[in-house]
Structure 1
Amino acid sequence: MFKKKLGLLTLAFLMVFSIMGGVVSAAAATPKIKVYLDDELMTFPVTPAIQKGVTFVPFRALFEAFDYSVKWNNAEKRINADNGEVKLQLYAGKTTAHIDGQRTSLPAAPYIEKGSTLIPLRFVAEATGYTVSWDQSSKTIHISTSAGEEENQQKVDAFLKQFGTAESERNLNKVKSMLDTDSYYYDYFVEYYEELFKSQGNTTYSNVEIVSAEDGEIIASVTRTEIWTGGPFFFDLTQDELWLFLTESSDGSLKLNDEIPGYAYYHALDLIGQTPAVPQEDQTSIEETLQAQYDGYNNKDADLVLSTHDQSTWIYRSLQQLFNSGYLNEVDYDLSASSINVVQYNGNTAIVHAEESDIEGELTGMYYMVKTEDGSWLIADAFSLYPEEDYSVMSLMDSPQAHKSDKNHR
């Protein structure tokens, strides 16, 4: 009887150890979770664990790897983390968290194990702006600090490629569909493009850099080049460090909301110093037109100023609108020119460089002029350049010869 009991007891122990051995063997076979921050393997004082499909890691090691300063409130079991841009609050045992003061919910509550508080890795990484991917076969987590930036860069590049194509094709409906209809400047943008698209030209964007991206808005610094190819003339222009404000719509597409002009360079400046052969009668007529323009501004004679401009051009319509507002009488000009030189000439059109001065000082004027049937010359486009430290260029609509307004200036 004793032997029988011993045999049964031995069998029971063997079964228990066999089962335990299987558990231990299975546990030993379970690979550890590896976490990479970009290409660097992260180490933790407590092994990362998966609970209810959520990967947990010790909070301090994770936050410090993400450049957060961390404080632990033992009384409330609260973690406070701040990296200068994002503030996070998490609580051990609670699924409630805060991002920059806004309450949100966690997929699972942080918990304390072996003196360490473990928190959901993906939540913290994505709240910081990083992206997380999981490799099931190797039980490896990859955290990318640049994936979000790369995604934004790709979105902006794609947007500007489409926008530049729509501008070059003079496709007003396409351009309007890419504008933010909630923008304060929407009507001004539409008015500008309606005017611009009366001419033919090519628009390209380059040197695209993301300045910031948050809360559904992306600010990008770009270089935009606009080249005239036909129709009503405009001066070729390159703008560096032009800031574009792009908003993300509900379907994820980007829209142009606003822009801040950057450093502008008119390509016609490269012509200064050129001395093409110009018949004396054309040289004289060009000088007379510019002098009449100066007299018109100085005497506050709107009709005289307008008589020196081609009525079919944007600049004529803009000045007419401006003068109708009474602005001409509000400013003193004292305009004159010390030299007037034709730098490009083909018989019917000319680009003219004038060294000018007004009540504020010296400036350089550049004019595109067209010859009429009666032999006189009219201004079809113009811009003024002040000798500032950065040698920035302004169109006529920014000069003392006209009033800078949101409606007339992009």
Structure 2
Amino acid sequence: MNGIDVREAVTRAHHEEWARVVAALTRRFGDLDIAEEAAGEAFAIAVERWSAEGVPPNPGAWLTTTANRRAIDRIRRENKRDDKHREAQLLYDDDPPGPVGAIDDERLRLIFTCCHPALAMEARVALTLRMVAGLTMPEIARAFLVQESSMGQRITRAKAKIKAARIPYRVPSGEDLPARVSGVLAVLYLVFNEGYLATGPGTDPVRHDLTAEAIRLTRLIRALMPQDGEVAGLLALMLMIEARRTARVSGSGELVTLDEQDRGAWDAALIAEGHQLVRGRLASGVAPGPYQLLAAINAVHTSARDVRDTDWSQVVALYDQLVRLDPSPIIALNRAIAVAELDGPEVALAAVDRLEDKLAGYHAYHATRADLLRRLGHSQKSRAAYDKAIELAGNTAETAYLTRRRDQLR
């Protein structure tokens, strides 16, 4: 088997097995650092060993066994951990599995377990993305719009707090779910976003494996918590965005923006399901949360047969509600894009420019400025903004689109 095939096999195994291996080692040895280090070493060994020997019939079992051995080796070197040393003498865990609690699905159970309310929201989300979702540190850093080193420090501090506070690695009961669900939804939303606009080098521009898994897990939460409006909102949002997936990238590998997509290629069944969820939440009479508002915005977009039929006044009104709940700069940026369609690019550009200090490192900020400047006839400034957006963009299809738009400037 050649090196490329081995790397693909290890990458596939990583996304399928990483969470299970880390969770099993954490339960066994009670130490997140040991679990992650041993799992990382096992995957590194796999790249070398599988190149010579071929991919084993059961990659998951191979990785688990190798990771156990690496963890045992480390514990044996740490003389201060006598109790862990005794546990580590057994290579395999013969103890019967513990109770699964309220959640049958293993991955969802791990996400709820990691999203412990004792951690700050950002810390629990970032830690879960790393441990369970399998996202890389650069992908997580880009999701939070921070430097990779800063995100690494946050995750390290979260692990340290788990140790210092003796936070138990325990499967949550049904009563625990409401206190943890907001963190779980944030994790699944970021996993979905990474799949829908993948930022990792060498990956497909759209990663259906991530979007499909995020939807699957959100459906499971919906079954567990059918009365939770934000769960319904997030599921509706994902479904309506996923419905546009096949129309989002052209045959030449270039991003196709919403206004240029072939709406006849959208998945009508997914859109109908998303619309039904949105209508159900509106009929409940309960004030909507952020995910429900985002879903409502997408419902407006997917209701229009043509981009010219879009009700931009309704979109802006929904963004006005959303800004009050979540005054983040990204929400403000998206609102400005809608304002450009309602009040013109000059009004929108003034709103976008006010976000520079917060979004200077975000490619979409520069891409939005570039488009608004282009529409206002400021070609030189638009070209400079496109250059910055291309420099920061991590998605290959988006880079191709931005490059073409820049090159079309006079």
State the TM-score, normalizing by the size of structure 1.
0.22
* Bigger share in helix: 2
Higher relative contact order (CA 8 A, sep 6+): 2
* Bigger share in strand: 1
User: Whose radius of gyration is greater, 1 or 2?
Assistant: 1
